[in-house]
Chain A
Amino acid sequence: MKKLFLFLALMIGSLTAQAADYTYLTFETTDGAKVSVEASSLTITISGTTLTAGSQSFTLSNLSKMYFSTSDETTGIKAISAEELNEATEVYDLNGRKVQKDQLKKGVYVIKTKNGNHKIAVK
């Protein structure tokens, strides 16, 4: 029985060690900005000077590091006005899928506006 307890203790320890579920792979650029992409079944390709991870593309020379994270650590998210959202020409989710701006659900999106591209978080 002692052996069983010992085994279970080891198991629990092992389970704890494995418990961390890294949902995101976060890229950090040289300016400190971070972009998290969902890690599950992620494919990363490198073509010339560009690295593409899911819907995200990075210039290789701008990348400083990447790491697995348990939460979305995307930075540079800003609050925008309803007017700005209305002026958005295109909206994409983090998987690169184009979505209708009046059907946004909770999550992070990239919008294209006359003033440039922005990441927004819908809460």
Chain B
Amino acid sequence: MKKIYALLTTLLLTVTAGAQTLNVKVGNVTYQFPASQCGDMTYTNGTTLTILNKAFTLSDISAMTVDNTEVTDGAIGVTYNGSSATVTVAGNIAQYVTPTVSGAHVSIEQSSDVAEEITYTLSGTSTDGEFYMSGSYKATVELNGLTLTNATPVYSGAAVHIQNGKRIKVKVVTGTTNTLVDAASGSQKGCLYVKGHAEFAQKGTLNVTGNVKHAIKTGEYITLKNATINVLGAVGDGINCGQFFQMESGEINIVGTSDDGIQCDIEDTETYPSGTGETTDHEDEDSGNIYLEGGTINVTVSADAAKGIKSEGDMRISDGDITVKTTGGGVWDSDKVKTKASACLGADGNMTISGGTLTLTSTGAGGKGINVDGSFTATGGTTTISTSGNAVVASSSGSLSTVSSSEQLDNYDSDYKSSPKGIKVDGAITISDDAVISVTTTGAGGEGIESKTYINITGGQTTIVAADDAVNASYNDDTKSLSNAGDFTISGGYLYAYSTGNDGIDANGNCYIKGGVVYAIGSGSPEVAIDANSEEQKKLYITGGTIIAVGGLESGASISGGTCKYTSSWTASSWYALYNGSDLALAFRTPASSSSSGGNQGGPGGNQGGPGGNQGGSSQQLVVYTTSTPSLKSGITVSGGTEYFGGMANVGGTVTGGSSVTLSTYSGGNSGPGGH
């Protein structure tokens, strides 16, 4: 059937090609009038010729010819060739446009009377050219093998400047490679600038370099399907837009920017100070939201405090392969009197991850994987985060330095420090369903995940190895009055929280374990595996689930719904099997060190080995809890099953060998807080 359509279409085109076209050439612009459309072409006073309402001054016409050129209604072609450019204009829209060509600098003014969409097809090469279009009706710009550098601007410093506030469809024509470089100086906002909203499509490649500000800048929203956009460098952001950014497919690669990789702002903050939020079909949306729904993104940013991807509104990730790396350090914001640092993903609003594969790496001082001012919700996707910088701190005068130990951070007010956290959220953190999150931090102050409101885990698999608290549910001045401020709750899913320098799980409010599988490892006395804020009459409540806690529990824990036992005699880096009654709950591998002396001693707010707590130099308590009666086997071998926690646990496997471990009834826990 496809062949029939192709054959018939070919036949049609062949017939069409036979029609005559009157070409009216004025300078480097040729207007193409199909004979069938021309009607009466009138001469006036021997000075003017009017065709389809387009008036030509006869003395400007260098030639008119009739040939068989096929004309597509509404089409304008611009072909660059070295230091010159030629323009063709379809006759039906000739009356609505005023092209001007100066060398290879082309400007086309689109009349406000235009009532149909015009397609501008740009092709060819020039090392000193530009394309400028102004208008007020939606248009299509096709990049059809265009290589354009604007060396000596005539109309704008941009290589392509669309001064049109309506929808601009930017077709990166399939199979073509297009390269745009703007002028080295000027006031242009982007190398590719669109005043309105840009919809990128087709499967071509677009390379862009922004020498003055952004590589790609749109005043309104951007959507992307299929096309590959490579930002090779920018003084500002790689891609900067207003309203919202939506990527359905295609590929974005960004390197060499001096600011963020992708940034989306609320366009009209006077009308919508907090944005419109998402609207039905994104109609009239000015949310500042970023929607990542498919495709591939690779962003590397190196500037201090730069964000790989930044939304002034929400960020919603439902699919795609997203890799972001930041290497920059911190900066002191003298206006806001605040220390800032890099983040792979940053949202001023909320962030939701429901799908996709995210690989986020931050190596600079204070650099974070994810930084969210609102709430963070993960229901799916696979997110892998690694941070390796130390915390950055500022003096009262704003002079920056880095610290090499977490304890030093207690000497600084929150605005005067920025720590390299895996996920930092001012609002609530919720992890559920099929979310897979893996976080590794190695620098001072490197908490795994932190919320300044509360953390609620109901599903998914969260694996954290952190230099500071692996999980920290905390609060700030804005949230401390909430009844659940600083609470941590888990009722389902799998959580591995291993801190090499602080608590495994640290709740500055209450800590509730109602279900799920929790494997928490504290760094050693005075830190604990699972901590709650008992100094402020908060408590650890255990009512369900399966728990392995290396380093003990917060003193005064309320334990019900099952049995808690412990041993202080266990072997590091060894496989154990935990049974709930006679049923295998899971097999797990113990951490590399069993000694509490290997961890962080005398941390801020921590105790110094009070009654019932671990003593320096002794083995940490290995506490287990199940809903029935827990028992342990050591030195086992496990096969089959499903690996969890980066290979530190196995669920559903077959256990062989091993010997029973003597467990004592757990009735206490480390006294004193484990630090914040």
Contact = CB atoms under 8 A, between A and B. Distances in A.
B42 interface: yes
A59 to B, nearest CB: 7
A48 to B, nearest CB: 9
Interface string A1-38: 00010011001001101101110010000000000000
Contacts, number: 83
A66 interface: yes
B46 A42 contact: no
Contact of B40 (A40, A46, A67): A67
Nearest to B51: A66
Interface in B448-476: none
Given A40-B66, A41-B67, A43-B65, A11 B8 contact: yes
A49 interface: yes
Contacts of B8: 7-8, 11
Contacts of B58: 46, 51, 60
A44 to B, nearest CB: 4
Interface in B28-70: 35-36, 38-43, 45-47, 58-59, 61, 63-67
A64 interface: yes
A100 interface: no
**Main DSSP-derived SS at the B contact region:** mixed
A21 B42 contact: no
A51 B59 CA distance: 11
Contact of A15 (B12, B38, B45, B65): B12
**Main DSSP-derived SS at the A contact region:** mixed
B12 A43 contact: no
Nearest to A27: B43
Given A40-B66, A43-B64, A43-B65, A68 B35 contact: yes
Nearest to B11: A11
A22 B42 contact: no
Contact of B12 (A4, A14, A40, A51): A14
B43 A39 contact: no
A61 B64 contact: no
B18 interface: yes
A46 B65 contact: no
Given A25-B66, A60-B46, A60-B58, A65 B41 contact: yes
A3 B67 CA distance: 35
Contacts of B35: 20, 22, 39, 68
A42 B36 CA distance: 16
Given A18-B16, A46-B58, A60 B66 contact: no
Interface string A55-73: 0000111111111100000
Interface centre among B15, B40, B46 (most CB of A within 10 A): B46
A45 interface: yes
A42 B66 CA distance: 5
A11 B22 CA distance: 24
A41 B66 contact: yes
Contacts of B45: 61
A33 to B, nearest CB: 14
A108 to B, nearest CB: 19
A14 B35 CA distance: 15
Contacts of A15: 12, 15
Given A4-B4, A18-B15, A67 B65 contact: no
Contact of A66 (B12, B36, B41): B41
B646 to A, nearest CB: 54
B20 interface: yes
B115 interface: no
B559 interface: no
B295 to A, nearest CB: 32
Contacts of B38: 67-68
A49 B43 CA distance: 12
Closest 9 CB pairs of A and B: A61-B46, A60-B46, A44-B64, A68-B35, A63-B43, A22-B35, A42-B66, A65-B42, A65-B40
24 contacts: A4-B1, A11-B8, A11-B11, A14-B16, A15-B15, A18-B15, A18-B19, A20-B36, A21-B18, A21-B19, A41-B65, A43-B63, A43-B65, A44-B66, A46-B59, A46-B61, A49-B46, A59-B46, A61-B46, A63-B46, A64-B42, A64-B43, A67-B41, A68-B35
Given A21-B19, A65-B42, A66-B43, 13 more contacts: A11-B11, A11-B12, A15-B12, A17-B36, A18-B19, A20-B35, A21-B18, A22-B35, A22-B36, A45-B63, A51-B58, A60-B43, A65-B40
Interface of B: 1, 4-5, 8, 11-12, 15-16, 18-20, 22, 35-36, 38-43, 45-47, 58-59, 61, 63-67
Interface of A: 4, 7-8, 11, 14-15, 17-18, 20-22, 25, 39-46, 49, 51, 59-68
